[in-house]
Amino acid sequence: MKRIEAIRCVMEELDGELVVCNIGYPSRELYSVRDRDENFYMLGSMGLASSIGLGLALSTKKRVVVFDGDGSLLMNLGSLVTIANQSPPNLTLIVLDNESYSTTGGQPSYTAGKTSLAKMARAAGIDNVLEVKSPEELKSAFNESKGKTSVIIAKVEKGNADVPIIPLSPYWIKKRFMKAAKGNRVQSQV
């Protein structure tokens, strides 16, 4: 399965869910597959998509879907521990695991070596961890994961689709996303 196919098959299932996407080609592919106000493209930094998604899931009743990369999650493994212990049932973290840093040229990551992100997620304490290799498996894992704190490791091919850069400014991406996310916030406890 190509990364863009994995993104497409999940996006076909979505209605008003919030989506946070990893930097680089994953965001470009998401934009070309289905741009919508509820998409937040993390244009600046690796490693932050899972943490942004966690914070969102804790503050909204909507389902939050994160598309992360293996390289990016490896950079922020503590996020798995916080996700496990905060365990918002509306959070689904999908790792598009191409065993490489594809956006910057395909250098191998350590999931090509000895490290399994599925095992790490389970060891962190996340119960619903699923591993998939095809769009059909991904679609059913995604639908099964509704209402459970979930991590789906989707094995995808190396490489990037030939898609243009996102023509939106970071300011506009944030502004329209915040507007779309508003109105479904959990009442503050403070």
Ligand X SMILES: Cc1ncc(C[n+]2csc(CCOP(=O)(O)OP(=O)(O)O)c2C)c(N)n1
What residues line the site for ligand X (CB under 6 A)?
Answer: 22-26, 45-47, 69-72, 96, 98, 100-104, 109
Q: How far is the CB of 146 from ligand X (least distance, A)?
A: 25
Residue 83 or residue 181: which is nearer to ligand X going by CB? 83
Residue 92 or residue 100: which is nearer to ligand X going by CB? 100
> In whole angstroms, what is the distance from residue 117 CA to residue 33 CA?
26
How far is residue 46 CA from its own chain's centroid? 12
How far is residue 109 CA from its own chain's centroid? 18
For strand 107-108 and strand 150-155, is the pairing parallel, antiparallel, or unpaired?
Answer: unpaired
Q: Residue 12 contacts by C-beta under 8 Å, 6 or more apart in sequence?
A: 139
Backbone angles phi, psi at 158, to 5 degrees: -65, 160
Q: Which residue is nearest to ligand X (CB)?
A: 69
Q: How far is the CB of 93 from ligand X (least distance, A)?
A: 13
Q: How far is the CB of 68 from ligand X (least distance, A)?
A: 7
Q: How far is the CB of 127 from ligand X (least distance, A)?
A: 25
Residue 49 or residue 181: which is nearer to ligand X going by CB? 49
